[in-house]
Amino acid sequence: MTITDEIRPLTEKAITTLLKKRQEEAYGKGNCRREVARWPFPGTVELWVADKSGVENHQLGTCENLSLQGAGLRSDDALDVGLEIGIAIHEPEVSFHGRAIVRHCTETEEGYFTVGVEFLF
């Protein structure tokens, strides 16, 4: 297997498969307690955020949770609500790359930002 076999496009099917696998590991087959699974995952997220001139800058963040529609992230930098960004999410099983829209960004007392992104499929 090559590294490119482990990096897949961020698709609804790919996220569904990953979440279903985690759900079955946690609860067994057919025992979901949530309609839409959201799983904690403290892992690396790469973000490509365009500046005012359109140049994309690379940033690192941490994934706090993952669902079919999006992810909750922790970032050292504020992100504008409505901003479309490039994203790579690195899960133990596989890495995904794609696009997302920032839906909320809140500064914490600790000085970092909690960011919610919605995936664009």
Q: Which stretch of DSSP H or E encloses residue 34? A: none
- Say what the pTM is: 0.83
Residue ranges and CATH numbers for the domains of the chain are: 3-120 (2.40.10.220)
Tens of pLDDT, residues 32-53: 554 555 666 678 999 999 988 9
Tens of pLDDT, residues 18-33: 888 877 777 666 555 5
> Exposure of 53 by Cβ count < 10 A (0-12 exposed, 13-18 middle, 19+ buried)?
exposed
